[in-house]
Structure 1
Amino acid sequence: MFTQLDDLVEKFNVISEQISQPEIIADQDKWKKLMKEHSDLRDIVEKYQEYKNTLQSIDEALSMLNENLDDDFKELVKEELAEHKKRVEPLKDEIKLLLLPKDPNDDKDIIVEIRGGAGGDEAALFAADLYRMYTMYAERNRWKTELMSLNENGIGGFKEVVFMIKGQGAYSKLKYESGVHRVQRIPTTESGGRIHTSTVTVAILPEAEEVDVELNMNDVRVDVFRSSGNGGQSVNTTDSAVRVTHVPTGLVVSCQDGKSQLKNKDKALTVLRARLYEMEQEKKNAEQAAEKKSQVGTGDRSERIRTYNFPQGRVTDHRVGLTLHRLDQILNGDIEEIISTLTTVDQTEKLKQVTNG
């Protein structure tokens, strides 16, 4: 491990010199690539330096204890020594986590697909709640959101909503949200006060660049049609809505949110590319050994991952056994505690696999 760390420090130092060279700065593509590498290495280099400084402080403290010191000063040195020793193992664990292979999608922007499942209108209403939750979480992180397509049910609910979140680390934070979200609450239309259970499916797709997916436009059928809104609202008089069909896989994406046919086509192709990329990723994941998969990071859309119970004001994530009694704040975008818990559990599992492997 330490040989690897020394190599990374050397690489970091070389890149640090390169990014200040005029000829490198002049080549913006190369400079941006090196800056990205520099940024990726900084955390582990700084953590390794902290580890080495701690070991050095231990050596210095041990050396001082061999000298003739007065009792008070000796006690002070012993306290410092104990503190430094306490830091060694946690620092080693932090370094091991930083050395874990990084998910290549972590820095990507994402496409979020939310669909009402079992429960009809109640499921559609909760799909709208989740859309609001994720957009408010994006605001907290200063990320940008862009609506791709929306299918409303006429009473404020969403049968389906697809939107993009653009921002540093969006996929790394939200990748564990894929799966079935279950809601338990009394619908406003329920006169008997009975609790209904409904489900909503969430899919988090990393945005796929053209280099990630080779999309042959000869395989894509593009149809245009007149977009329609609820009760005749927002109905365009031109054929601005676009439906793209990927013939080899049968994947279909429709976009009718914007008034520009060209923009709707671009949005539809962006979603299509992300879905094709996800299919490719799933195929690779299926080829991995079952024990190498994380219970948190499977991203299986059919898996029930979380329950939102309104009568009890609680949210439970079933994968990690986390229950929080602050439903209102969570639906207002305060989901950082859930996300950080899922991330920690996933990293710990991966660390065990590396250690045991």
Structure 2
Amino acid sequence: MLVSRWFRLCSLCSRVVYSSNVGGRRGGWRTLTGHTSLRYANITQVHHWGTVVSKRLCYSDVGELYRNESVQRYLQQLMEEYRDISNRLQHAYLNESDRKALIKKHTELLPLANIFGSIEQARKDHEEVHSLLHGSVSTRDEDEQLTQLLKEEEAQISSKIAALRKDLIKALVPIDPLDSSNVLLEIVSGRTTGGDICQQFNREMFDMYQGFASYKNWDFEVYNYTPAEYGGLHHAAVRIAGDNVYRYLKHEGGTHRVQRIPEVGLSSRMQRIHTGTMTVIVLPQPVEFDVHIDPKDLRIDTFRSRGAGGQSVNTTDSAVRIVHLPTGIMAECQQTRSQLQNRDTAMRMLKARLYQSMMGKETEQRHTARKQQVGTRSQSERIRTYNFSQDRVTDHRTGYVTRDIKEFMRGGEALDDLISDVLECAEREALLEMVESSSTGSSNLKQPESGQSAD
């Protein structure tokens, strides 16, 4: 019996080899599949009034999303489409145009089909190992060794299935064509009594994104920087360029709330916790985009730069403000002593804002539209809260919580982890919206037929 089951196991999994010494035991066994990471579950650890590791409110378990009925239906539709295309490509009577279209679609679906096929094969392997493991029970030493081997193999296959499902979900997520774009990022102070707490927080947010750009090896070019009292910041506009900048920063747009006891300024005299807000605006700058602007539609003003810009900057009318009269959209720059350089920079900013305005009209649901991001700057629209008194940062869209706020404000790994969490949740929500709309579309296609039969 032992020999029979042993050969069945060998035929199932050729990765099993004998080892003369594993873990100090002679005659042990090992597999060549290696150690598979078990990080799929994203275990939540929350200690009330204590250390908060992370808290996720969206699909933290890939398996949960994989088992979603809409996702399963959508996946089956894609696999049926893939098989249908594969069959049609074998026919010789296709014309060149149809063949090219089918080959293109076949190429798009091939990675997904490969992952799906791997999952199906792994599931079959898991069923066979499970059947061998629970088929019979024996107390002999040889069978005990084989049972232990089967249990290890079953765990390895389960881990492999979980990893493949995660890859499958990633392959299903719709791609944003603007993800690779550079961005124009603006920081605007919010509305609060006194205003100094928002202006100080503005500067800290500016430093945080500058640190994040350095952490990601992105270029950080300042277009506009208007300082305020007590070391604060009224407004700043920067261009951030690099790999997939918009993908990582597009969800940073919105109202950010701060709660703290101010260290400087008029508010610091009261020695109590103040609440303020500021706004981050993220506008994509695609590599190839051209916004035609009629010079007659522009009003160009020059003025002396404001704030602590240096004596040499304030002696000439080098600052430039450009207003697009039909839309009222404005851009200004006062970073250099050269009026021509400031004008070129302001024009680039204006084009980015006009481009975003056009994108907003075409896609009203895009969350990076300027008006949606600015909102009313009220606390009820906040996307994130920075509570310095409790040393905590909370993202209200996902429920993600992290500690060590000073480290977070440096814009390094801690910010990257939060942004990755928000991005992951957003992509999965986009996937659910896509599959549900696809399901709705399929139902709508069937409605005329049912309506006709009803008549």
In which range does the TM-score fall when normalised by the shorter chain?
A: 0.7 to 0.9
| Residue aligned with 1:335, SS | helix
* CA distance in structure 2 between the aligned counterparts of 1:253 and 1:306, rounded to whole angstroms: 27
Q: 217-226 or 114-123, which moves further after superposition?
A: 217-226
- Out of 300, 322, 343, the position equivalent to 1:244 is 322
* CA distance in structure 1 between the aligned counterparts of 2:85 and 2:313, rounded to whole angstroms: 58
Q: Is the 8 A contact 2:196 2:229 kept in 1?
A: no
* CA distance in structure 1 between the aligned counterparts of 2:429 and 2:152, rounded to whole angstroms: 34
| Residue aligned with 1:230, SS | coil
Query: How big is the shift at 1:234?
Result: 4.0
Query: How big is the shift at 1:322?
Result: 1.9
Q: Which has the larger radius of gyration?
A: 2
Q: Is the 8 A contact 1:97 1:351 kept in 2?
A: no
| Residue aligned with 1:248, SS | coil
* CA distance in structure 2 between the aligned counterparts of 1:5 and 1:338, rounded to whole angstroms: 36
Q: Is the 8 A contact 1:315 1:325 kept in 2?
A: yes
* CA distance in structure 2 between the aligned counterparts of 1:205 and 1:335, rounded to whole angstroms: 20
- Out of 316, 332, 351, the position equivalent to 1:273 is 351
Q: Is the 8 A contact 2:173 2:428 kept in 1?
A: no
TM-score by length of 2: 0.61
**Residue 106 (str. 1) matches residue 183 (str. 2):** no
Q: Is the 8 A contact 1:112 1:162 kept in 2?
A: yes
| Residue aligned with 1:300, SS | helix
Q: Is the 8 A contact 1:208 1:274 kept in 2?
A: no
* CA distance in structure 2 between the aligned counterparts of 1:74 and 1:314, rounded to whole angstroms: 48
**Residue 356 (str. 1) matches residue 440 (str. 2):** no
Fraction of identical pairs, as percent:
36
Query: How big is the shift at 1:323?
Result: 2.0
Query: How big is the shift at 1:138?
Result: 0.8
- Out of 395, 419, 425, the position equivalent to 1:345 is 425
Q: Is the 8 A contact 1:113 1:203 kept in 2?
A: yes
Q: Is the 8 A contact 1:51 1:88 kept in 2?
A: no
| Cα pair distance change 1:93/1:284, threshold 3 Å | farther
**Residue 179 (str. 1) matches residue 254 (str. 2):** yes
Q: Which amino acid aligns with 1:118?
A: R
Q: How many pairs align? A: 315
Counterpart of 2:396?
318
Counterpart of 1:2?
79
* CA distance in structure 1 between the aligned counterparts of 2:84 and 2:186, rounded to whole angstroms: 42
Q: Which amino acid aligns with 1:262?
A: L
Q: Which amino acid aligns with 1:328?
A: K
Q: Which amino acid aligns with 1:275?
A: R
* CA distance in structure 1 between the aligned counterparts of 2:189 and 2:392, rounded to whole angstroms: 21
* CA distance in structure 1 between the aligned counterparts of 2:84 and 2:179, rounded to whole angstroms: 24
CA-based RMSD? 3.4
Counterpart of 2:228?
153
Query: How big is the shift at 1:256?
Result: 0.9
Alpha-carbon displacement from aligned partner over 1:9-29 (angstroms, at most 9, x marks no partner): 9xxxxxxxxxxxxxxxxxxxx
Q: Which runs of 5+ in 2 are unaligned?
A: 1-77, 87-103, 133-141, 376-380, 438-455
* CA distance in structure 1 between the aligned counterparts of 2:203 and 2:113, rounded to whole angstroms: 45
Q: Which amino acid aligns with 1:356?
A: E
* CA distance in structure 2 between the aligned counterparts of 1:259 and 1:5, rounded to whole angstroms: 60
**Residue 201 (str. 1) matches residue 276 (str. 2):** no
Query: How big is the shift at 1:171?
Result: 0.7
Alpha-carbon displacement from aligned partner over 1:117-145 (angstroms, at most 9, x marks no partner): 12312211110000000110111100110
Counterpart of 1:217?
295
Q: Which runs of 5+ in 1 are unaligned?
A: 10-36
